[in-house]
Every structure is written in structure tokens, then in C-alpha cells.
Structure 1
């Protein structure tokens, strides 16, 4: 297999997931800032959507989208699953992953793209600067929604680390870097964030 990596929270999700699962895959670094992901050969032979990350399988086929990549690696790798060992556990992981993606990751990311990220993203995609403030507010609403729901829990889905934690951490950490920090009153979420940040897999050099 071959992993197409770059800067950004999406590739970081997969990198952190692989670190937690003890998976090592040869990497190809894609220059996201330089637009390598938006031109041939990457957007022709790897991912026509021009996004990272991507996972090239041994037969030459390519998987994209972080949840699909992580679920595939979880299934083909030995060790403790981060998706779940039962239908109920897998459903719980997927539920929380979907909630976090919709309520936090998507508005946070587009809030950045449509504001601070405008110089990079204007030539690459439709941008809506007028929507940036509202999207950032939606991400903060997502933080406040999640905060009481994880009170007393070690992890988002309960007492086990899952893909939902990895996804959320990568984007919360990105939020701190781009001016969208978690509000101080979200003490449960901030406590969870500090615990996740202390994990070896949270080191971006892993």
C-alpha cells in the first residue's frame, strides 16, 4: 500500500489512526500549499476530487475519504479495533463520527477556508466569505453541544478510544491553530483535548 499525505487535519486523522493501530505504510508527500493535489498526475490517477489523503491499495485501486480509509485499515490490521468489535460498538463509533463531522469538522474547516484561508482556496473552489462568521459560530455551537454529552467519559463514545476521538482531536487541534479555539466554559471538552494531546499518536511527527 501507499499513503498520500499532506498538511491539514484530514491527513492527520489517518496518520494518528495508523499510529494508534500500529500501522506503518510508505508515504508520498503531496504539496498541498503548492497545489500539487489539484493538478495532474494526482488529480487524474489518484483522486479526481483533488483532495488528500488517499490510500493506494496493493492492486492499484485508491481509497479516499478519511473514514473509509480508517475503517479499511482497521479491518485489515491485527490488534484492537478502533471502530468496534460488535455491531453495537461499530454503530456507536459511526454515530459519533458522523455527528462530529457534521456539527464541528465541516463548519470549522469551511469557516477557515472562507476567511483566513481565502488566498489559498479562492482559486481552487467556490468560496463564500459572507458565510465564514456563521460557519465558525456553528462550530462553536457544536463544541457547546458536545461538551455536556461527554461529561464523565474518558472518550467520546464512552470508555474506549475510537475513530470519533481521532477525528475530533485532529480538527479541534486545527481549530486552535486557526483562531477557532474551544471556549473556556467547555471544560469537559478541554479536559478530553488535553488527555488526547498527551497521547504519543498526537505528535504530528508520528
Structure 2
């Protein structure tokens, strides 16, 4: 297997997942900022043009961050970051849906349509007029989640999971591009600090992220 890698919060999620698993994969870096993922030969293999992607030994490609992590967990079940049984896996997937559909996707779109517009306007349909509303939707999701995090260590209780990785990498990125975490959400802040204290958090950052000016 080989990880098709780049800068960005989504590639970072997979790198952090691998670090938590204690797995090492060969990596091929693509120039996302230069749009290498949006032109041949890459988009001939992955028409959606996203990064990261996982190239399997037979040459086939698995895309979508959560799908990549699901595949890796099935191949290497321990330590479990999705679950060891049906109930745990269902709980993790439930929270992944809640995190992505209520928080992270709104936040990413808010960035792409505002601060990131110059980078994304020729790569996808952008709606600048929607940016402020999307950011408010993301914040509303955080306001809903924060009190629940105040009552437990991780999103799934006492289990550190892929849901924590997905939310952490998104918030760490968004914080630096105009969507800081509200200081009033103390439960969220405490959870974030716990994730950031894990060795995988800093180790998953792209080399040169400081020069780019974003935690990717």
C-alpha cells in the first residue's frame, strides 16, 4: 500500500490515524496547492480529485478520508480506533456523522468560500455569499457538542477514536484561517487540549507547515 499524501487537514487525519495505529506506509506527496490533484494523471485515477488517497497493492485507489481509515482498521485492527465490536463501531460512526455533517463540512466550506476563495474558485463551485452562514452553522454544531464533551474524556466516552481525530484536525486548521474556537466553550477547549497533548498531534503536521502559515 502507498499513501498519496499532501498538505491539508484531511491528509493529516490519515497520518494521525496511522501514527496512533503505529503503522508506517510509503508516501507519495502531491502538490495540492499547485493543483496537481486536479489534473492528469491523478484525476484520471481519482475523478473527484481529493487528497489523500490510498493506493492498494493491486493499483486500485481508495478515496475519502473515513473510508481510508476504515480500510486500514480492517487490515490492522489493533489498536482499535473505530471499534472492537459492532456496538463500538456503530457508536464511532454515529459520532463521525454528527461531527462531519454538523461541524467540519460547514467549517471547511466557509473557509473555501471566503479566506480560501482565491485557491478554490477555479477548482469547484464556490458560493461566497454563503460563507458567513456556513461558519455560523459550524459554530452552532460546536455549541451543541461542547457541553457533552465536558462530561467525558473523548467523543466516544473513554475511547479515543477516529471521531476525535477528524474533529481535532479540522478545528486545528480552522482556528488559523478565521474560525477560532469560542473561548466560552470550555468543554471543547479542554477536549482539544487533551488531543493536542497526544504525540500523534504534532507528529502528523506536514513538514514546512509553519512556512505555509496553516496547521496542515
TM range (shorter): over 0.9
CA distance in 2, matches of 1:67, 1:205: 19
**Structure 1: segments with no counterpart, 5+ residues:** none
For 1:32 and 1:151, the matched residues in 2 are separated by 36
Q: Which residue of 1 aligns with 2:165?
A: 166
- In structure 1, distance between residues paired with 2:112 and 2:19: 28
Mapping for residues 1-206 of structure 1, pairs under 5 Å: 1-45=1-45, 47-203=46-202, 204-205=205-206
Aligned-pair distance for 1:11? Answer: 0.7
Cα distance in 2 for partners of 1:165, 1:90 equals: 14
Take 1:82 and 1:14, find their aligned partners in 2: how far apart are those partners?
A: 12
Q: Is the 8 A contact 2:12 2:206 kept in 1?
A: no
TM-score of the pair, normalised by structure 2: 0.93
| Kept after mapping to 1: 8 A contact 2:16/2:201 | yes
Structure 2 residue runs of 5 or longer lacking an equivalent are 208-216
Deviation at 1:80, TM superposition (A): 1.5
For the aligned residues, what is the CA RMSD? 1.0
CA distance in 2, matches of 1:80, 1:20: 8
> In 2, distance between residues paired with 1:159 and 1:100?
17
How far apart, in 2, do the equivalents of 1:43 and 1:154 lie? 40
TM-score normalised by length of structure 1: 0.97
Deviation track 1:4-35 (CA, whole Å, cap 9, x = no partner) reads: 11111111111100100011110011101100
